[in-house]
Amino acid sequence: MHLETFEDFRQLTYRDKIKTLYFHGTFIVSIRYYRHKVNLYLVHDFYVEVFYNPRLDMIDQFELFDPKHKRTKFYTDQINFPTDLLK
């Protein structure tokens, strides 16, 4: 399994996304966002947000991290991103 972009990741099956995060991803931080726990992972050269719904005990979605989204504030309160990422 060779991944270079989020698009490559997006094309994976649900199960393969989980395996990729577990074996090739680096957990960065977790935040609460509305009804979700959002885990941020670094996979190769891109960040993936994993939206976990604790009420349903399942992952609802996987998204490419968007540094311009308002959620970024929750992350930057806890960690420092590379400066070129947030420009």
Count of structural domains, the chain: 1
CA atoms of 73 and 81, how far apart (whole Å): 11
Structural contact between residues 65 and 47, judged by C-beta atoms closer than 8 angstroms: yes
Q: What is the per-residue pLDDT for 1?
A: 60
Q: Are strands 46-53 and 58-64 parallel, antiparallel or unpaired?
A: antiparallel
Domain that holds residue 50: 6-76
Report DSSP state, residue 69. S
**DSSP structure string for 2-46:** ---SHHHHHTS-HHHHHHHHHHHEEEEEEEEETTEEEEEEEETTE
Reading the chain (87 residues) residue by residue, the pLDDT tens digits are 678 889 999 999 999 999 999 999 999 999 999 999 999 999 988 999 999 999 999 999 999 998 888 888 888 888 887 777 766
Q: Report yes or no on 84 lying in a domain.
A: no
Q: What is the per-residue pLDDT for 87?
A: 64
pTM for the whole thing?
0.87
Q: Report yes or no on 38 lying in a domain.
A: yes
Q: What is the per-residue pLDDT for 70?
A: 87
Q: Report yes or no on 81 lying in a domain.
A: no
